[in-house]
Amino acid sequence: DAGITQSPRHKVTETGTPVTLRCHQTENHRYMYWYRQDPGHGLRLIHYSYGVKDTDKGEVSDGYSVSRSKTEDFLLTLESATSSQTSVYFCAISESLGTANTEAFFGQGTRLTVV
Amino acid sequence: AQKVTQAQTEISVVEKEDVTLDCVYETRDTTYYLFWYKQPPSGELVFLIRRNSFDEQNEISGRYSWNFQKSTSSFNFTITASQVVDSAVYFCALSGSASGYALNFGKGTSLLVTP
């Protein structure tokens, strides 16, 4: 199994509070991604990173920010949590893009509930 | 723009039946990659297969087979002699330069195999 650890695995937070989710990898993969999974929507890309301090927005980036100060860590921050951000969040890593090694490996997910 | 459509939201079969999960995609990229992932009830995402756009050869892996047809923009997944352990949500995904090579997922097909 790819070495990907998401923390926390479960979190309940109040509306309006900031929340940070952490993704840690031991594979030294260049690319890291944050997705959210919601019923009826599949997985949707929030942000991704293509290197240290290099990030870009995905399909549903509003209300989220990310940071990658080290290769192994990719942080997702909800600046002011809202109930619409209640979801399961998945981190993924990939060795390369647009090549034969393009598959992504996923963490176990973080279930976030905003009340 | 890239889009993946999994028209079948839910499928229910009896054990030992064959079942095909449909996946239709849209992309303007000439080089792209197609994937299938499995999400069992435990929630993790398991990589099943990657197919490159320039390789239309079909693939078989045990009871699993995949049919890639560029002419119809389809990448269908067939499970032969289904088993209860095949019960899961299955996601088709597309990766290409139009999305920065991040995976673009369909909404998933929930497969239930009953004894």
At residue A85, the 3 state secondary structure works out as: helix
Give residue A2's pLDDT: 65
Q: Would you call B44 and A109 a contact, using CB atoms and an 8 Å cutoff?
A: yes
Average pLDDT, chain A: 92
Nearest to A43 among B6, B33, B105 (CB): B105
- Per CB-CB distance under 8 Å, the chain B contacts of A44 are 105
Q: What is the mean pLDDT of residues A64-92?
A: 97
Size of interface A-B (CB pairs under 8 A): 58
Identify the residue among A34, A36, A37, A43 best suited for mutation to test binding to B, counting B beta carbons within 10 A and taking the highest.
Answer: A43
Give residue A32's pLDDT: 93
Residue of chain B whose Cα is closest to the Cα of A100: B52
User: Would you call B64 an interface residue with chain A, using a CB distance cutoff of 8 Å?
Assistant: no
Give residue A70's pLDDT: 96
Question: Which residue bears the tokens 């549903």?
Answer: A60
Q: Would you call B31 and A98 a contact, using CB atoms and an 8 Å cutoff?
A: yes
Task: pLDDT band for B56, please (50, 70, 90 cuts).
Answer: confident
Burial pattern A48-64, b for ≥16 Cβ within 10 A else e, equals bbbeeeebeebebbeeb
pLDDT tens for each residue of B14-40: 999 999 999 999 999 888 999 999 999
- Per CB-CB distance under 8 Å, the chain A contacts of B52 are 100
State the alpha helices, DSSP H only, in B1-115. Answer: none
With CA atoms as reference, report the closest residue to A101 among A24, A4, A33, A31.
A31
Identify the residue among A91, A106, A111 best suited for mutation to test binding to B, counting B beta carbons within 10 A and taking the highest.
Answer: A106
Distance CA B26, CA A38 (A): 22
User: Would you call B52 an interface residue with chain A, using a CB distance cutoff of 8 Å?
Assistant: yes
Q: What is the mean pLDDT of residues B57-73?
A: 92
Task: pLDDT band for A98, please (50, 70, 90 cuts).
Answer: low
Which percentage of chain B shows pLDDT scores above 90? Answer: 77
Is A100 a residue whose pLDDT tops 60?
no
Q: What is the mean pLDDT of residues A41-65?
A: 93
Give the HSE-up count for residue A44: Cα atoms under 13 Å, Cβ half-sphere. Answer: 15
Please count the other Cβ atoms lying within 10 Å of the Cβ belonging to residue B33.
22
Q: What is the mean pLDDT of residues A96-108?
A: 76
Nearest-Cα distance to chain A for B43, in Å, is: 7
Task: pLDDT band for B96, please (50, 70, 90 cuts).
Answer: confident
- Per CB-CB distance under 8 Å, the chain A contacts of B92 are none
With CA atoms as reference, report the closest residue to A44 among B103, B86, B73, B1.
B103
